[in-house]
Amino acid sequence: MYAFELHKAKSVADAAALIAKTGGKALAGGQSLVGAMKLRLAQPGALVDLSGIAELRGIRREGGAVIVGAMTRHAEVAASADVKAAIPALVALAEGIGDRQVRNMGTLGGAIAHADPAADWPAAVLGLGATVITSKGRHAADGFFKGLYETALAGDELVTAVSFPVPRKAAYAKFRNPASRFALVGVFVAQAGDGAVRVAVTGATATPFRCAPLEAALAKSFTADAAKAAKVSANGLSGDLHASPEYRAHLIPVLAARAVASL
């Protein structure tokens, strides 16, 4: 790999200052960043390791929300009894990310800051209408994911936690790409405490999106049949060697129906 500087931050403020000063990038679990640096898809001149910042780790229930620290690993979410009791869909989602080794290192904050088009966490953030809490303030989920590997975060802005409102019901269904284990398509369905329905799709375009036809169908009737009957257009969906836009469009209502049926 190419040479770079490495700094270990003691606090969020220290990390943000080091990133601003060096023009570098945060290092969380490294499960996306280290691989990208080996291939020089990312070439930061400095890394700021967040692993020593205790305040970024952990899960807590606060009123009607579950707050997960940015440095909390996927495996910790998968094993959390608190998350299981409040939002079991998040446990299922975290258990399905990559493989054991990846889940033992990869973090929530890294996953959403990285904003891989096929990543799982963005579907939950958008599907639950979560709030991304950062070193500079808060971002609503709608508008946070801007494009391919692009978010609303400023260059020196750190995700510190995500606040997930506890829904009445929620579920995630994913069609795994068997080689990469990422989502060929993943669909997160949720019915909020006030009954509002949100459906978020990942893997189907450069950035996760809310699926209006499915939200309308499930708002009328929160059933698998209603989801399956919804029509999703292939227009604008990704096509690649793994799946055509038409196939992805077909998968979206199928996975939404599977998610609803699992509840």
Ligand X SMILES: Cc1cc2nc3c(=O)[nH]c(=O)nc-3n(C[C@H](O)[C@H](O)[C@H](O)COP(=O)(O)OP(=O)(O)OC[C@H]3O[C@@H](n4cnc5c(N)ncnc54)[C@H](O)[C@@H]3O)c2cc1C
CB of residue 4 vs another protein: minimum separation in angstroms?
6
CB of residue 244 vs another protein: minimum separation in angstroms?
25
Residue 67 host element (H or E):
strand 65-69
CA atoms within 13 A on the CB side of 128: 29
Residue 153 or 230 with smaller CB distance to ligand X:
153
Establish if 25 lies at the interface with ligand X (CB under 6 A).
Answer: yes
In the three-class reduction of DSSP (H, G, I as helix; E, B as strand; rest coil), residue 92 is classed as helix
Residue 226 is which amino acid?
Answer: A
- Residue from 111, 197, 204, 249 touching ligand X (CB under 6 A): that is 111
**Residue 148 CB neighbours (<10 A):** 11
CB of residue 53 vs another protein: minimum separation in angstroms?
14
| Residue 98 · residue 138 · CB < 8 Å | no
Pairwise CA distance, residues 205 & 210, whole Å: 11
Residue 139 or 198 with smaller CB distance to ligand X:
139
Residue 33 or 67 with smaller CB distance to another protein:
33
Positive or negative, the CA dihedral 87, 77, 181, 119 is positive
Helical segments of 23-86, H only: 33-38, 74-78, 81-86
User: 100 contacts which partner out of ligand X, another protein, none, CB within 5 to 8 A by kind?
Assistant: another protein
Residue 16 or 217 with smaller CB distance to ligand X:
16
Establish if 215 lies at the interface with ligand X (CB under 6 A).
Answer: no
Residue 93's nearest CA partner among 74, 66, 73, 106 is 74
Establish if 139 lies at the interface with ligand X (CB under 6 A).
Answer: no
Pairwise CA distance, residues 185 & 248, whole Å: 7
Residue 76 or 215 with smaller CB distance to another protein:
76
Both tokens of residue 129? 């209408």
Residue 14's nearest CA partner among 67, 54, 73, 57 is 54
| Residue 255 · residue 247 · CB < 8 Å | no
User: 259 contacts which partner out of another protein, ligand X, none, CB within 5 to 8 A by kind?
Assistant: none
Q: Report the interface residues with another protein, using CB under 8 A.
A: 1-6, 8, 27, 29-31, 34-35, 38, 47, 49, 51, 75, 98-102, 104-105, 181
Residue 27 or 141 with smaller CB distance to another protein:
27
Establish if 161 lies at the interface with ligand X (CB under 6 A).
Answer: no
> For the chain, percent helix, then strand, then coil, each to nearest 5?
35, 25, 40
**Residues between 70 and 109 that touch ligand X (CB under 6 A):** 70, 97-98, 102, 105-107, 109
Size of the site for ligand X (CB under 6 A): 32
CB of residue 71 vs ligand X: minimum separation in angstroms?
7
- Residue from 7, 17, 20, 30 touching ligand X (CB under 6 A): that is 30
- Which positions lie near ligand X, rule CB under 6 A? 25-33, 35, 50, 70, 97-98, 102, 105-107, 109-111, 113-114, 116, 119-121, 153, 158-159, 181-182
